[in-house]
């Protein structure tokens, strides 16, 4: 059994294959965190709470020095108001305005299952027996205000992750106002931790940032209405010297697509508190008597074998217990997107010409991007009017799809369902459907407003508009885009008391639309996007097996973007294409081979005008498409290892994937800067079978697995900047 309970001592032990998590109760009242680390069988560790016992406990907890105890105790789920002055997870206000809450332990429940969340993404049990799940629910209560808090911890037999969420239930007679309710917290001793976060901006998403944890609070957060380009809902604490192979890592990732806060606080007594959840600055929830509220899930991971093990724990969890798509374990079609080929300037004949060229090269799908609907010749009009512009698409969408299918390609379509242009029929008919503050002119971004998805009539209208187009033609793929942050937060349909619920209700409306889309079109391949990578988060992976990683497709920029993304998310989830040169984002020229090799680490496709490629590049594209079919199984299903980081060494990049049975491995090496020295690079590979013999494809060279892992492979210097090579090692029988 993964979860064990000692009822006599009130100790809770959560075991995964390689880790143990311990909690205990002090004086039948306070739930404290005891231990999180390598797996142990012994759970008798109440002494780890540093809590007084007997008469001394009465003195500290109930008489003269309760505040001193509260301000240093390792709470499992801290609440505001009774003496814990560190950042807390829960703040609740009653009808009289008091915001003090004191949670006391009441009991627990244990179930052999994994509960879903209402209207939100949630991990789920997989196939038996490895995918079996257990859930521990610990019940805490503040009797004075009638609040019950349920702390849920779920595990899977094949994963080292612990899934946490919280439910608040109002069992009293007055309304309660949740002002803050986070999903997870870890209270630990400081170990001179470093903090790892993922930062960036448009076109430079998820770059790795490392800093020493010092006294005070270290916060990453988004208030943009989405997980954002700028930060990722992720935080990891690492011990000194941690690298890919060694060191202790404590990590959290949020399964959510809206505003969040992740915080680490080092206090005056060398205690570290790490927490993650909904951002309180844009959150308040009215909890009527009898009502309940569920938080999104937080994924908590411990690794004692460095960042590499942490990464593979996240990858395997998301592939086995979060991504639901039928496409998860299959090759995605190689696609060409027309955006950077044509922008808004296209018609049926231009699209068919691209499709015909794509077919010759072995490309399998054409995706029509922005500009096919309404009055949409630029980005200043038309959003919300999801009717085909037949001046561009002669005969309508069904006719275009039939012509593309007739060429031998699948057909996909771009939407931006959450947005509306001021210059649109929809906005002229329903100006109140845009997010706005009454009396203020809302701010625009990319010449557009955001529709109010907290209103059911708006959700229904937008969804039906999109669904009508999908029903009209053979559309097998949808790219769901969202090109601006949320501002002027307000709904003309919410009253004053419930206006603080707006941001979370917006995300629930988004999730509802995507759930309906997948239910009504179960064979649809959905790719989420938000002006590139502003919504690359675990919440969206529940609805789409792939997400557009970044609008910047320059392969050198993509090295850092894809390294940071792959720290948490499977390679199969990363939308990656070959771009034209000079690159439209940064203007750089790079070899087509390097653009292809970097894109092969993701879903793979093209974003350029195929009709303008030289004959030499067309021949290369044929080779790349064959390589995709040859290598995608190991890229999609294999274990990922980071061998070298261009972010760290400023010279070269290298990553590796190994098939689950260790029979083959694909290594991608990118030389960013050429060096005049001729010394080869030593690449120490990982994950191979030590005693097996591997042959380097295309050569007669053979190596033992242990030689490649311990001594390494010597990669000769490639001539020139921005060059790359694929190394395919295959185990000999």
Q: Is there a single domain that holds both residue 304 and residue 419?
A: no
Residue 285 lies in a domain: yes
Q: Is there a single domain that holds both residue 144 and residue 227?
A: yes
Q: Is there a single domain that holds both residue 97 and residue 152?
A: yes
- Round the average pLDDT of the chain to a whole number and report it: 96
Q: Is there a single domain that holds both residue 298 and residue 383?
A: no
3-state DSSP assignment of residue 369: coil
Burial of 720 (0-12, 13-18, 19+ CB in 10 A): exposed
Residue 615 lies in a domain: no
- Among 264, 286, 321, which residue terminates a domain? 321
Q: What angle do CA 491, 492, 495 make, to 5 degrees?
A: 85
Q: What angle do CA 295, 134, 141 make, to 5 degrees?
A: 45
Q: How far apart are CA 345 and CA 377, in angstroms?
A: 7
H helix or E strand, kind and range, residue 512: helix 502-520
Q: Is there a single domain that holds both residue 317 and residue 449?
A: no
- Among 548, 567, 584, which residue terminates a domain? 548
User: Average pLDDT, stretch 350-370?
Assistant: 98
pLDDT value, residue 51: 82
Residue 333 lies in a domain: no
Q: Is the pLDDT of residue 387 over 70?
A: yes
In the chain, helix, strand, coil percent, each to 5? 25, 30, 45
pLDDT value, residue 328: 96
DSSP label of 316: H
Banded model confidence at residue 60, pLDDT cuts 50, 70, 90: low
Residue 373 lies in a domain: yes
pLDDT above 90 covers what percent of the chain?
Answer: 94
Instruction: Name the residue among 150, 180, 175 with its Cα closest to residue 165.
Output: 150
Is residue 627 a contact partner of residue 362, using CB atoms and an 8 Å limit?
A: no
DSSP label of 707: H
Task: Check which CATH number belongs to the domain holding 531 and give it.
Answer: 3.20.20.70
Task: Check which CATH number belongs to the domain holding 717 and give it.
Answer: 2.60.40.1180
- Among 525, 548, 571, which residue terminates a domain? 548
Query: For the stretch 455-484, what's the b/e string if a residue is b when 16 or more beta carbons lie within 10 angstroms of its beta carbon?
Result: beebbebbbebbbebbeebebbbbbbbbbb
H helix or E strand, kind and range, residue 519: helix 502-520
Task: Check which CATH number belongs to the domain holding 177 and give it.
Answer: 2.70.98.60
Q: Is there a single domain that holds both residue 220 and residue 102?
A: yes
Q: Is there a single domain that holds both residue 383 and residue 496?
A: yes
Q: What angle do CA 429, 435, 441 make, to 5 degrees?
A: 85
Q: Is there a single domain that holds both residue 524 and residue 401?
A: yes
User: Average pLDDT, stretch 554-560?
Assistant: 97
How many domains is the chain partitioned into structurally? 3
Neighbours of 266 (CB within 10 A): 21
Instruction: Name the residue among 315, 249, 216, 223 with its Cα closest to residue 37.
Output: 249
pLDDT value, residue 61: 60
Q: Is there a single domain that holds both residue 180 and residue 91?
A: yes
Reading the block at residue 334, the tokens are 């190689």
Cis peptide leading into residue 356 (ω within 30°)? no
Neighbours of 85 (CB within 10 A): 11
Residue 169 lies in a domain: yes
- Parallel, antiparallel or unpaired: strands 335-337 and 605-607: parallel
Banded model confidence at residue 635, pLDDT cuts 50, 70, 90: very high
Banded model confidence at residue 64, pLDDT cuts 50, 70, 90: confident
Q: How far apart are CA 270 and CA 273, in angstroms?
A: 10
pLDDT value, residue 636: 98
CA–CA distances in Å: residue 452 to residues 34, 173, 213, 431: 44, 32, 39, 11
Mind telling me the catalytic residues? 481, 551
Which segment of 115-129, 293-307, 630-644, 655-669 scores lowest on mean pLDDT? 115-129
User: Average pLDDT, stretch 694-713?
Assistant: 98
pLDDT in tens, 183-225: 999 999 999 999 999 999 999 999 999 999 999 999 999 999 9
User: Average pLDDT, stretch 702-722?
Assistant: 96
Instruction: Name the residue among 241, 115, 102, 113 with its Cα closest to residue 166.
Output: 115
Reading the block at residue 414, the tokens are 């771009």
Reading the block at residue 557, the tokens are 């920029």
Query: For the stretch 672-699, what's the b/e string if a residue is b when 16 or more beta carbons lie within 10 angstroms of its beta carbon?
Result: beeeeeeeebebbbbbbbeebebebeee
Q: Who's near 410: CB < 8 A, 6+ residues apart?
A: 333, 335, 364, 365, 366, 404, 476, 477
Which segment of 67-76, 162-171, 268-277, 291-300 scores lowest on mean pLDDT? 67-76
3-state DSSP assignment of residue 45: coil
Q: Is the pLDDT of residue 63 over 70?
A: no
Torsion angles phi and psi, residue 696, rounded to 5: -80, 115
pLDDT in tens, 606-634: 999 999 999 999 999 999 999 999 999 99
Torsion angles phi and psi, residue 594, rounded to 5: -65, -40
Q: Is the pLDDT of residue 653 over 70?
A: yes
What is the span of the domain harbouring residue 78? Answer: 3-321
Q: Is there a single domain that holds both residue 108 and residue 257?
A: yes
Residue 611 lies in a domain: no
User: Average pLDDT, stretch 74-85?
Assistant: 95
CA–CA distances in Å: residue 436 to residues 29, 282, 464: 46, 15, 23
Residue 718 lies in a domain: yes
Residue 184 lies in a domain: yes
């Amino acid at each position: 059994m993964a979860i064990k309970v000692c009822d006599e001592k009130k100790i809770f032990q959560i075991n995964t294959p390689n880790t143990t998590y311990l909690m205990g109760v002090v004086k039948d009242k306070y739930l404290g965190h005891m231990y999180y680390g390598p797996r142990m069988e012994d759970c008798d560790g109440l002494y780890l709470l540093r809590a007084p016992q007997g008469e001394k406990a009465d003195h500290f907890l109930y008489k003269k020095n309760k505040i001193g105890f509260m301000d240093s105790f390792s709470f499992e789920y801290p609440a505001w108001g009774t003496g814990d002055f560190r950042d807390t997870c829960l703040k609740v206000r009653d009808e009289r305005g008091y915001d003090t809450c004191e949670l006391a332990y009441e009991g627990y429940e244990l179930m052999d299952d994994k509960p879903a969340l209402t209207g939100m993404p949630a991990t789920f049990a997989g196939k038996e027996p490895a995918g079996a799940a257990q859930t521990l629910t610990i019940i805490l209560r503040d009797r004075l205000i009638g609040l019950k808090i349920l702390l849920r911890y779920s595990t899977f037999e094949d994963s080292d992750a612990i899934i946490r969420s919280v439910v608040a239930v109002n069992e009293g007679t007055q309304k309660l106002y949740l002002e803050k309710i986070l999903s997870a917290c870890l209270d630990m001793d400081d170990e001179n931790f470093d903090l790892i976060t993922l930062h960036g901006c448009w076109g430079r998403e998820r770059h790795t940032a490392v800093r020493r944890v010092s006294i005070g609070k270290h916060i990453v957060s988004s208030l943009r209405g989405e997980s954002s380009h700028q930060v990722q809902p992720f935080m990891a604490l690492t011990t000194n010297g941690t690298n890919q192979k060694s060191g202790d890592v404590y990590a959290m990732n949020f399964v959510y697509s809206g505003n969040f806060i992740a915080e680490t606080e080092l206090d005056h007594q060398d205690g570290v508190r790490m927490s993650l959840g909904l951002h309180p600055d844009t959150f308040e929830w009215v909890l009527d008597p009898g009502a309940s509220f569920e938080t999104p899930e937080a994924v908590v991971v411990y690794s004692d074998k460095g960042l590499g093990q942490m990464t593979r724990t996240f990858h395997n969890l998301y592939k086995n217990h979060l991504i639901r798509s039928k496409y998860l374990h299959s090759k995605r079609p190689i696609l060409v997107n027309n955006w950077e080929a044509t922008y808004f300037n296209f018609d049926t004949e231009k699209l068919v010409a691209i499709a015909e060229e794509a077919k010759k090269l072995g490309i399998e799908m054409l995706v029509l991007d922005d500009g096919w609907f309404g009055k949409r010749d630029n980005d200043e009009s038309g959003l919300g009017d999801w009717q085909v512009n037949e001046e561009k698409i002669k005969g309508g969408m069904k006719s275009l799809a039939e012509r593309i299918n007739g060429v031998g390609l699948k057909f996909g379509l771009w939407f931006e369902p959450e947005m509306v242009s001021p210059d649109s029929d929809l906005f002229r008919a329903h100006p109140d459907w845009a997010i706005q503050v009454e009396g203020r002119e809302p701010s625009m971004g990319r010449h557009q407003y955001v529709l109010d998805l907290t209103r059911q009539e708006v959700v229904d209208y937008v969804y039906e508009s999109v669904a009508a187009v999908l029903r009209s033609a053979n559309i097998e793929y949808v790219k769901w885009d969202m090109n601006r942050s949320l501002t002027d937060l307000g709904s003309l349909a919410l009253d004053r008391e419930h206006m603080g619920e707006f941001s979370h209700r917006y995300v629930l409306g988004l999730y509802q639309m995507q759930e309906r889309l997948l239910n009504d079109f179960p064979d649809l391949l959905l790719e989420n996007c938000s002006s590139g990578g502003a919504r690359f988060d675990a919440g969206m992976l529940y609805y789409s097996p792939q997400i557009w990683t970044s609008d910047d497709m320059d392969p050198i920029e993509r090295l850092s973007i894809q390294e940071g993304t792959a720290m948490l998310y499977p390679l199969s989830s990363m939308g990656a294409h070959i771009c034209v040169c000079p690159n439209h984002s940064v203007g750089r020229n790079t070899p087509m081979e390097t653009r292809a090799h970097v894109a092969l680490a993701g879903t793979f496709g093209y974003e350029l005008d195929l009709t303008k490629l030289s004959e030499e590049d067309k021949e290369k594209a044929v080779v790349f498409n064959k390589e995709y079919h040859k290598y995608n199984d190991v890229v999609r299903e294999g274990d990922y290892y980071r061998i070298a980081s261009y972010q760290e060494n400023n010279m070269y990049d290298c990553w590796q994937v190994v098939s689950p049975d260790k029979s083959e491995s694909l290594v991608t090496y990118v030389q960013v800067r050429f060096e005049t020295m001729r010394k080869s690079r030593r690449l120490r590979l990982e994950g191979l079978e030590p005693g097996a013999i591997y042959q380097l494809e295309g050569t007669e060279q053979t190596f033992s697995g242990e030689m490649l892992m311990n001594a390494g492979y010597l990669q000769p210097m490639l001539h020139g900047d921005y060059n790359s090579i694929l190394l395919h090692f295959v185990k000999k029988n």
